[in-house]
Amino acid sequence: MSPAAASTLSVLARVEMGRCARHPLFLTGIVVTTLFCFVDPDPQLGVLFHAIVPATAIGVLGIFVLASLTRRSQTIHAAAGAVPVAERTRSLALVAACLVPFAAGLAWWAWAFITYRNHAAPPNGFPFGPVGDGWAAAVLFGEGPLACLGGPLLGILVGRWSGARAAPALTAVGVIATCLVMQGLFEPLRRIRVVMPWTYFGGPAGIPGDPNRILLYSGSPAWWCVYVACLCALAVLAIVLHDRESPRRPVLMLAAGVGAAAAVAVGLAMWTGVDHTLVNPLPSS
């Protein structure tokens, strides 16, 4: 990238970050997430189940926010016709804007981890068994900040590749629907659920006779985080690939490498860590 392009990217990134930070939907997500931080966590499930809040309020709404910013960027470019700043630079500026929701997710993560450390789960609660602080930190990181990053990236991807106005809404519905199915409630899907960009690693899934019994699902949240980070990187590459004027071959080669890394990471997320679904030996109540 030339010095002029790098300088422009820096300015454009700041512009897009400002637009993201001021977007009403993003602000709504921040308010909702902050309000939920003042709600005492469920004594049995702890703060680990709070991750749904930033994932939805910042991550899912982020799909709409960044799709909107992407469309606006395209509209302005169309109004100006041909400009020296390449689409790839404009896309990377939008990607930089995703650091705003990611930063909000990181702030939530810091709060959540501190809260987790200060509110130990009861023996019949979640988590239990052979998991420590690292496991909890990884779960919170994957379900919180990474979701806050991934949703907005998906928004840019949809905005770049689809001109349909309903595309962001359909994407959000699709993400929520598949995550609901793959959250671990269905036993046959528990090992492969980590292919999803958002899932649970345990909870009150229940057993016969005790529908709220706490379970710990198989898999490694740390490797799942690596996998989701790879998905985010693939999203960025797919976004910049949309620019037909810039060289695409290096991007495709990089995408192949990241794709291979993602495949390895998701395999490790399935087959390392907690070996199989564990059932809390104590009844839920």
Partner 1 sequence: MSTATVVRTSELAKRYGSTTALHPVSLTIGHGLTGLLGPNGAGKTTLIRLLATAMAPSTGTIHMLGHDATGSLAQRTEARRAIGYVPQELTFPGAMTAFSFLDYVAVLKEWTQRTERHAEVRRVLALVELADRAGKRVRTLSGGQRRRLAIAQSLLGDPQLLLLDEPTAGLDPVQRASLRALLSARGAGNAVVLATHQTEDVAALCERVIVLADARVHFDGPVSAFVATAAGSVWLDDRAVPGARAAWRTGSGRMRSVGGRPPAAAQSADPSVEDAYLLMLGTDVLEDARTI
Angle between helices 99-118 and 24-37 (to 10 degrees): 0
Yes or no: say if 38 and 83 are a contact pair by the CB < 8 Å rule: no
Among positions 39, 40, 82, 163, the unique one binding partner 1 when judged by CB under 8 A? 82
The CA distance from 155 to 239, in Å, is: 10
Among positions 38, 39, 81, 249, the unique one binding partner 1 when judged by CB under 8 A? 81
Yes or no: say if 55 and 148 are a contact pair by the CB < 8 Å rule: yes
Among positions 21, 42, 72, 210, the unique one binding partner 1 when judged by CB under 8 A? 72
Among positions 28, 246, 277, 284, the unique one binding partner 1 when judged by CB under 8 A? 246
Number of residues that bind partner 1 (CB under 8 A): 24
Among positions 38, 39, 40, 78, the unique one binding partner 1 when judged by CB under 8 A? 78
Among 148, 150, 151, CA closest to 64: 151
Among 51, 62, 185, CA closest to 115: 51
Among positions 39, 79, 120, 164, the unique one binding partner 1 when judged by CB under 8 A? 79
Residue closer to partner 1 by CB (options 19, 193) is 19
Residue closer to partner 1 by CB (options 82, 120) is 82
The CA distance from 267 to 192, in Å, is: 9
Q: Residue 44's Cα: distance from chain center in Å?
A: 25
Residue closer to partner 1 by CB (options 89, 183) is 89
Q: DSSP 3-state assignment of 171?
A: helix
DSSP string for residues in 91-134: HHHHHHHTHHHHHHHHHHHHHHHHHHHHSPPPTTSSS-SS--HH
Residue closer to partner 1 by CB (options 163, 188) is 163
Residue closer to partner 1 by CB (options 14, 276) is 14
**Per CB under 8 A, 120 contacts partner 1:** no
**Per CB under 8 A, 164 contacts partner 1:** no
Among 145, 171, 146, 139, CA closest to 158: 171
Among positions 1, 10, 35, 181, the unique one binding partner 1 when judged by CB under 8 A? 10
Residue closer to partner 1 by CB (options 84, 209) is 84
**Per CB under 8 A, 40 contacts partner 1:** no
Residue closer to partner 1 by CB (options 191, 242) is 242
**Per CB under 8 A, 8 contacts partner 1:** yes
CB of 86 to partner 1, least distance (A): 7
Q: What does the DSSP 8-state code read for residue 263?
A: H
CA-derived radius of gyration, the chain: 20
Among positions 80, 120, 164, 166, the unique one binding partner 1 when judged by CB under 8 A? 80
The CA distance from 198 to 132, in Å, is: 21
CB of 22 to partner 1, least distance (A): 11
Summarize as ranges the residues that interact with partner 1 (CB under 8 A): 4, 7-8, 10-12, 15, 72, 75-86, 90, 245-247
